[in-house]
Amino acid sequence: MKLSQECILLQRELRKFAQQTLADKVDELDKSCRFPLEDIKDLANMGMLGAIIPETYGGAAMDATGLTVVLEELSKVCASTAFVIASHNAFFVYPVLKFGREEMKKRYLPGATRGEFIGGYALHRTNELSLVDAADGPCISGRNPFVLNAAADGPLVVALPEGEANNSTVYVLDKGTPGCRSGRPGSTIGLKAAGLGEYIFEKCCPAAADMIGEVRQGAKVLESMHDYARVSMSAIALGIAQGAADAAVKYARERVQFERPIINFGMVREQVSDMITNIESARHLVYEAARRIDQGEDYRSAAAMAMLVAGRAATATTTTAIQVYGGYGYMKDYPAERFFRDAQMINVICSTPDEDKEIIAKGTL
């Protein structure tokens, strides 16, 4: 897929930032599980937190292809940093922009652009909530152990179950909302610097003005949000795969056995060809899904295909990268094992492969 000149310039800018700013600290961020707040502030100054926000609210008005370029380039170096940017844009900004009332947009979007806060999302499938109807509306108690951007302590998109199992209402809970507080930081296999964590709810009663969309129409909001987010998550998977392949090829060129670089061995060359073929196949689907969004076409199946194939590519490529490194691939002194762990996480955040397959099948029938 041929990128526009604007996207090529954006790609160069983000590649330079990733190499000059993130590359030297990514291992330390991963080992210490430290949220990359300073780097996110720098990216906010570059317009990345307001990537998809219209210029009316001070945003960069970037299209889906542009955001895909951003996430791929960041993920080649630090998937955690890319994930923070993706979660803010896809799981917080997008539902507010598409389904929020004008008052809500004016309240959140300018601040989201300037980096005054980083929006989060409580994955609805991991909700452990009980709901009680109070005089002034629903109140929730319980916890959610899997909240995206929890470490940022910003406003949060939450889906509250109401009535039947398929009914829910989506709200934005501001920082400082009574009965809503952050809990333990997450302890995950990958994306260890992405700020995943727990939130505790104790008789938390969101106001009607904080509602996204309509009462008990949360399924519509969540479906649209997840479709859009699949493209962002697939871009991160693509970047992880490319970063792992680049690292493995570099190592294979430098590693000498039997008086020649191992890149000259037939088995290693076969592994490299498999990695590159998987990556290029995924890249086509990821950017095709982004193109469909930009052209206003239906993209639900395309997004699911992109996520399924890019997720597979990330898993397969990072596994092969470890094999290229040999025993060193399992050591934290080398990047292969970090790419591998991040790839495992990105495959289950937005949807599982089985869920993606179901969407693809329904779109075909």
194 in Cβ contact with 80 (< 8 Å): yes
pLDDT tens digit sequence for 304-331: 999 999 999 999 999 999 999 999 999 9
Output the CA–CA distances (angstroms, integers) from residue 223 to 220, 263, 300, 322, 345, in the order listed. Answer: 5, 45, 9, 36, 20
- Position 97 scores a pLDDT of 97
350 in Cβ contact with 225 (< 8 Å): no
Band of residue 345 on the pLDDT scale cut at 50, 70, 90: very high
CATH number of 120-217: 2.40.110.10
Q: What is the domain partition of the chain in residue ranges?
A: 5-114, 120-217, 219-364
pLDDT tens digit sequence for 29-79: 999 999 999 999 999 999 999 999 999 999 999 999 999 999 999 999 999
pLDDT tens digit sequence for 203-226: 898 988 999 999 888 999 999 999
159 in Cβ contact with 122 (< 8 Å): yes
Q: What angle do CA 235, 240, 244 make, to 5 degrees?
A: 150
pLDDT tens digit sequence for 140-191: 899 999 999 999 999 999 998 876 556 789 999 998 889 898 888 888 999 9
Q: Report the chain's mean pLDDT, rounded to a whole number.
A: 94
Output the CA–CA distances (angstroms, integers) from residue 301 to 173, 293, 305, 351, in the order listed. Answer: 31, 12, 6, 13
Band of residue 350 on the pLDDT scale cut at 50, 70, 90: confident
- Position 186 scores a pLDDT of 87
- As beta bridge partners, residue 270 has none
d(CA 2, CA 16): 20
List, in sequence order, every beta strand (DSSP E) within 57-135.
120-122, 128-134
Closest CA to 318 of 331, 332, 337: 337
The topology under which CATH files domain 219-364 is: Butyryl-CoA Dehydrogenase, subunit A; domain 3 (1.20.140)
CATH number of 5-114: 1.10.540.10
